[in-house]
A and B are shown apart, each in its own frame.
Chain A
Amino acid sequence: MESRILQLIAALRASGVRVSLAESAEAFSAVDLMGIQDREHFRLSLRATLIKDVKDLPTFEKLFPLFFGSGQPPMMGGNPMDNLTPEEIQMLVEALKQYAEQLRQRMERLMNGDQLSRAELEALGQLVGLNQADNLNYQNWMAQRMMRALAFPEVQKALKELMEQLAQMGMSRERVEQIRQMIQQNMQGMQEQMEQFAGERIAENLSEKPRGENIDNLMNRPFHALSDEDKKLIQREVKKLAAMLRTRIALRQKRAKNGQMDPKATIRASLKYHGVPMEIKHKDRVHKPKIVVICDVSTSMRFCSELMLSFLFALQGQVRKTHAFAFIDHLESISEDFSGADADEAIQSVLWRMPSGHYNTDLGWALNDFNNEYMDTLNSGTTLIIVGDGRNNYNDPRVDIFSNMSRRATRTIWLNPEPPIMWNGDSDMAKYAPLCSNVLKVGNLRELANAVDELMTG
């Protein structure tokens, strides 16, 4: 049982759920306490201790029955021979004789109503290469391959013929129907068994899989060459970066000493002077960082907009006063989309709402929108971050608005996936760049990390 729980934990980890050592220890003490007699209690004690995120609940619900069974064995129909009269059995045997030896054995196997034995399942699994599978998406496919190895489709066809033949030979309709249903049930049962087995085996393989890919390998991979799992890993890393950036921005803000008078501090200071308030203390006005981010999600940026948006998402989670905007040909506020807790969903909703078109990027117009509606979000204490390649399709770049914006904001940072050498053609980057406090090239995670580092030391 213990090793089974450990396997489940390993499989959870391999599926991208973060389970710490403390949590797995906790799971064991919970199981000790609740016992394993009651399946539901057992499941809940594992779930409450191991899973700490709604997003991970489905993974757990999927894996749990694979390690601890689904609670009931598959229903088998039973052996139709049991309640047939001797004549009817005779008929069945006669009818079966016409089939080739191999097919007949298979049909008979289905008719005796026994479950597949462990050895049979193992052999089938071996045959279809189940031992190499380590992705639960393959569960049904593997089960199907196992069924095909048992020649299910052929057997099914043959059985249909057999039934017709029995009817012709004079067996009563109800009787034939009864046999058919039992065999159907048997097939169903075996199918469930195979699906369960395939799932179990894949989950076991999953638990033996070496720990996930090192984040270092992903650092240098360009954003467009990432798998879903990689993205999850990267999102986690991005979240850390956002947290670092937040702290840095917060520290950079000078602590103002000109707030309201602080009576407590004043009284405390006056203790030095025998209760005479010689020093008037003021409340520290704590500066909360404020960020305004404008992100280009046009075609030329699509390959990295997902990652950039997840960066924005993480940033918004860290910094309450974040205003996020996205633009292609006009500006839209996306802060609302980012108010949920699921990064993927938020990002998809933004990308879906703003489908990319052809050559319709217009930063100038987006800036104009910003000028009309959101200029008041920028004030002293705001950091303005622009994410984009500055490719404007020869539209008016509206440098006037941009310079106004950068003057209002404390700091203007531009994250651009292209290096300066590529700022030609329809790129207006060269015009914007002098107005920014920093222009940084960000094309993969390492560069994003470096950019955050630079912002922190700069």
Chain B
Amino acid sequence: MSILFDSTSTVKTELSKQKYIASDEIATIVYLSHKLGKPLLAEGPAGVGKTELAKAIASATGRELIRLQCYEGLDESKALYEWEYSKQLLYTQLLRDKLNDTLGKAESLAEAADKLAKEEDVFFSSRFLLQRPLLKAILSDKPTVVLIDEIDRADAEFEAFLLEILSDFQVSVPELGTLTAKHKPFVILTSNNTRELSEALKRRCLYLFIDYPNLQEELAVVRLKVPDLNPKLAQQAVEFVQKLRKADMRKSPSISETLDWANALVALNASNLDKAVLEETLSVLLKHEADLQKAKRQLMAPPPQSKPRNNDEFGRFSGN
């Protein structure tokens, strides 16, 4: 195990070296998960940096990141292992002479069968096992970080199948027996919360909810990742994004979209967030036509003329 993460503050500094700004909450829970050897279940809206967190942890600890993207219909032959039949067949063909040699010296049929039985292991060995991400993580000689991305997209059966791996870090291959991990991998599961995960899965994980960052946090991320953007514009841009998130959109802009937008602003050499720039670049932030229209109507319209309002004492309540 790496000795990098020996307190929550080192988690924080190491992650920030990887250009990932971790809040106290994230740092504490990552540290706990590392120390307790428990998988970490990160939930939250799309694009708040759940996947990025896994990548940052992998590079901070210098471990290999093994990623398993979940989708509907994902099964164990794609996630865990598969026998490589064609290779097995090829080997039997090519080794036929050798087999004849070995078996030819046998005096009786029974002896030949016994001899063959001794060689049986050759054909069902890990040589013919096609390693898929999870098996790769378990058999790896070096400790790894496993990212099981968007687990909520996989079927409920697949969740059940993960349980053995998550609690004991071992898998059972009928022909080979149980394979146990040499090094406990650091497992991170992410979920976009599109469906409820099973209790059994949640029980085995530590839970981390990552929400959209507040203004300061997001500004810090933008400044770190897009250093070329001038500070004033960055501030304006982040304020604008935060305002968009408060508006009722079909899909709120995520941090990654904020960063794309910031990059776009740099590329366009924008100096100010004026109407023309917004018109041009807003589609980087909002991906639904309806949202775009709405944003154009609401947020880019000139600020409403302050209407003469009778200053009765209920004035402030009639505002909205």
On A, residues with C-beta under 8 Å from B are 18, 20, 22-23, 26, 29-30, 33-34, 40-41, 44-45, 47-49, 51-54, 57, 239, 243, 264, 267-268, 270-271, 275, 286, 317-318, 320, 339-341
Contacts and interface: CB of A to CB of B under 8 A. Distances in A.
A52 B205 contact: yes
A268 B29 CA distance: 47
What does DSSP make chain B's interface, helix, strand, loop or mixed? Answer: helix
A268 B36 CA distance: 43
Given A22-B203, A317-B195, A54 B32 contact: no
B120 to A, nearest CB: 14
Given A40-B24, A48-B32, A23 B203 contact: yes
B208 interface: yes
Given A26-B36, A49-B206, A264 B28 contact: no
Given A48-B208, A54-B43, A339-B194, A34 B32 contact: yes
Interface stretch (B53-61, B85-93, B217-225, B309-317): B85-93
B180 interface: no
Contacts of A275: 89, 93
Contact of A317 (B43, B196, B203): B196
Nearest to B75: A286
Contacts of A20: 199, 203
Interface of B: 8, 24-25, 28-29, 32-33, 35-36, 38, 41, 43, 72-73, 85-86, 89, 92-93, 155-156, 193-196, 199, 202-203, 205-209
Contacts of B86: 264, 267
A320 B155 CA distance: 8
B156 A29 contact: no
A54 B208 CA distance: 9
Contact of A318 (B73, B156, B202, B205): B156
21 contacts: A18-B199, A20-B199, A30-B32, A40-B24, A40-B28, A41-B28, A44-B25, A47-B207, A52-B202, A52-B203, A52-B205, A53-B207, A54-B209, A239-B196, A243-B156, A267-B89, A268-B85, A270-B89, A286-B73, A317-B196, A340-B194
B89 A271 contact: yes
A48 B41 CA distance: 9
Contacts of B209: 54, 57
Nearest to A316: B195
B8 to A, nearest CB: 7
Given A44-B25, A48-B28, A267-B85, 8 more contacts: A20-B199, A44-B28, A45-B32, A52-B205, A268-B85, A270-B89, A318-B156, A340-B194
Nearest to A41: B28
A66 B196 CA distance: 29
Contacts of A53: 196, 202, 207
Contacts of B199: 18, 20, 52
A340 B194 CA distance: 5
A243 B193 CA distance: 18
B36 A30 contact: yes
B29 A44 contact: yes
A29 B36 contact: yes
A271 B208 CA distance: 50
A41 B8 contact: yes
A340 B36 CA distance: 31
Contacts of A52: 41, 199, 202-203, 205, 207
B88 to A, nearest CB: 8
A264 B36 CA distance: 41
A22 B200 CA distance: 11
Nearest to B193: A341
Nearest to B43: A54
B288 to A, nearest CB: 13
A22 B208 CA distance: 18
Contacts of B25: 44
Contacts of B207: 47-49, 51-53
Q: Which 6 A-B pairs have the closest CB atoms?
A: A52-B202, A44-B28, A48-B206, A52-B207, A48-B29, A317-B195
Nearest to B27: A44
Nearest to A34: B32
Contacts of A29: 36
Given A44-B28, A48-B207, A52-B203, A320 B194 contact: no
A47 B41 CA distance: 13
A21 B195 CA distance: 24
Contacts of A286: 73
B212 to A, nearest CB: 13
Contacts of B92: 271
A240 to B, nearest CB: 11
Contacts of A48: 28-29, 32-33, 206-208
Contacts of A341: 193-196
A288 to B, nearest CB: 8
Contacts of A268: 85
